[in-house]
């Protein structure tokens, strides 16, 4: 961690300590202790829950919507980042305490985006016509998929994956996903916030009130956005006149300001913030110092400082999450045996195959001189034909064309046979390239961690990534698991 970042955290600690009240801290502690009641809780997590009551305890937060089986790899990277960062801050600032938090966006309703994932080359999809907040979805339609997933790991009946899949069978998906993530990160002391809580929402009434009955927050975001656009900086979100949704059974609909609104503080549980208000809500209920997110998340947080100012809320540090490429030990061995370094696999796979053939001394034959000889032969023959039997020229031309096609087919057959002795290596290059850049996409945005856990042992691989992850390196990192 750089000295500049340490200095920023020191400033943030002072700001948040002044603005986060004992009442807010007491409410947060009460809600979380109730949420974890009855669950198996590690000593580290138990300690973090207790520390929340201390005015010198602060949180480091990341967030993500609900997804299937943790969704893409960057979900794992984000959570491990806040855990590593919190650990380092506890060392750097021994008089304060820092707790990692995962904000579980259970009210998100973009089911299409999260209902599928790829595992072992197969697409797995949760078929459901349910609407509204995904965290409130009934899981009965998910159970056939979970049953089929368990069958994929039937050769490892005692593996962790079976317990994890069972945990997802809670009545509501938000409850199941909470249990699933808790099981994976309990030992690290990670606190999970399910913000769809009536008491937490009611405590944030000043935010909802401003959005419902004034245009202050909307105008603040619009002004911030305009300033960023003048500097040609990204502005991925758009504020609406109303940034709140109304939650009901199987429904999450935007509140329209088409007439007088009849909402009071006691109605807060029915309200759900969009992407504009969610950061404000988060910072309202947490003693938070920093948000760790991807590039697009960091970009939209930069549209919000003026909205934070409207509520006299300290604007947190925004830190780009760690990320990169994940390989297994066997993949690394293959790469080295092929004579490459792992970075080489980021290049075009066709060029990589050609480079491999060159490395092993298998230079592609130069067929050009044969083409020159053939062309010379045809020209000479045509001259003979024109001089002796010009009326046969068309017949001869057709016959030579037939012979040329046979010659080309012979060269292709020879080339295929010549390359066959390297087929295994070329297929390995193809498979490795696809693993690192699936269908040309970023691996961390498209691949699920279970693809690296054929034995169903997720926690083991997560621990290995944790040991390698550098939270201060914004370049793509390489992680190798067993």
pLDDT by 10-residue block (mean), the chain, 482 residues: 84 93 96 94 97 96 93 96 97 96 91 88 91 92 93 93 92 94 97 95 96 95 96 95 90 89 93 96 97 96 97 96 96 93 91 86 73 84 83 85 88 80 88 92 93 95 97 94 96
Q: What is the pLDDT of residue 362?
A: 63
- The answer to whether 82 touches 60, Cβ cutoff 8 Å, is yes
Q: What is the DSSP letter of 139?
A: S
Residue 411 backbone phi and psi in degrees, to 5: -65, -40
Closest CA to 278 of 81, 26, 64: 64
Structure tokens at 471: 């939270």
Cα distance between residue 478 and residue 481, in whole Å? 10
In this prediction the pTM is: 0.87
Three-state DSSP at 435 gives helix
Q: What is the pLDDT of residue 422?
A: 83
Query: What distances in angstroms separate CA 55 from CA 199, 316, 425, one per listed residue?
Result: 21, 17, 60
The C-alpha angle with vertex 275 and arms to 229 and 252, in degrees rounded to 5, equals 140
Q: What is the pLDDT of residue 1?
A: 55
Cα distance between residue 139 and residue 147, in whole Å? 12
Closest CA to 40 of 185, 194, 174: 185
Q: What is the pLDDT of residue 250?
A: 82
Count of other CB atoms within 10 angstroms of residue 408: 13
- What ranges in 60-171 are assigned the alpha helix state H? 74-92, 111-114, 143-152, 160-167
Handedness of CA 365, 366, 367, 370 (dihedral sign): negative
Q: What is the pLDDT of residue 113?
A: 85
């Amino acid at each position: 961690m750089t000295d500049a970042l340490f200095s920023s955290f020191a400033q943030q600690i002072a700001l948040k300590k002044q603005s986060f009240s004992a009442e807010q801290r007491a409410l947060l502690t009460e809600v979380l202790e109730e949420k974890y009641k009855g669950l198996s809780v590690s000593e580290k997590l138990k300690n973090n829950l207790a520390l929340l009551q201390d005015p010198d305890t602060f949180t480091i937060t990341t967030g993500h919507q609900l997804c299937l089986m943790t969704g893409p790899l960057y979900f794992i990277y984000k959570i491990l980042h806040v855990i590593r960062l919190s650990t380092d801050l506890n060392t750097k600032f021994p008089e304060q305490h820092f707790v990692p938090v995962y904000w579980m966006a259970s009210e998100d309703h973009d089911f299409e985006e999260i209902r599928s994932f790829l595992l072992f080359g197969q697409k797995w999809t949760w078929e459901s016509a349910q609407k509204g907040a995904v965290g409130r979805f009934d899981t009965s339609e998910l159970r056939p998929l979970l049953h089929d997933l368990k069958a994929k790991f039937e050769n490892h009946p005692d593996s962790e994956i079976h317990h994890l899949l069972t945990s997802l069978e809670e009545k509501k998906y938000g409850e199941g996903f909470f249990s699933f993530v808790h099981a994976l990160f309990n030992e690290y002391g990670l606190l999970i916030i399910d913000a769809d809580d009536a008491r937490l929402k009611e405590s944030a009434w000043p935010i909802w009130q401003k959005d419902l009955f004034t245009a202050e927050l909307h105008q603040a975001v619009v002004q911030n956005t305009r300033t960023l656009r003048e500097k040609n900086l990204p502005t991925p979100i758009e504020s609406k006149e109303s940034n709140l949704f109304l939650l009901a059974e199987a429904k999450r609909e935007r509140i329209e300001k088409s007439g007088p609104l009849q909402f009071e503080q006691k109605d807060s549980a029915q309200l759900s913030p969009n992407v504009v208000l969610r950061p404000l809500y988060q910072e309202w209920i947490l003693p938070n110092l920093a948000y760790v997110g991807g590039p697009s998340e960091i970009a939209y947080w930069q549209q919000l400082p003026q909205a934070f100012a409207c509520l006299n809320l300290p604007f947190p540090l925004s830190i780009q999450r760690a990320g990169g490429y994940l390989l297994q030990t066997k993949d690394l061995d293959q790469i080295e045996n092929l004579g490459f370094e792992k970075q080489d696999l980021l290049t075009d796979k066709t060029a990589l195959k050609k480079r491999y053939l060159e490395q092993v001394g298998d230079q592609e034959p130069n067929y050009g001189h044969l083409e020159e000889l053939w062309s010379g032969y045809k020209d000479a023959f045509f001259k003979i034909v024109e001089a002796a039997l010009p009326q046969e020229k068309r017949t001869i031309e057709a016959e030579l064309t037939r012979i040329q096609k046979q010659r080309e087919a012979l060269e292709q057959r020879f080339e295929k046979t010549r390359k066959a002795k390297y087929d295994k290596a070329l297929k390995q290059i193809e498979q490795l390239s696809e693993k690192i850049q699936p269908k040309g996409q970023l691996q961390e945005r498209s691949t699920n961690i279970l693809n690296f856990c054929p034995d169903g042992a997720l926690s083991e691989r997560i621990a290995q990534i944790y040991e390698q992850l550098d939270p201060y390196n914004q370049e793509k990192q390489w992680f190798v698991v067993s």
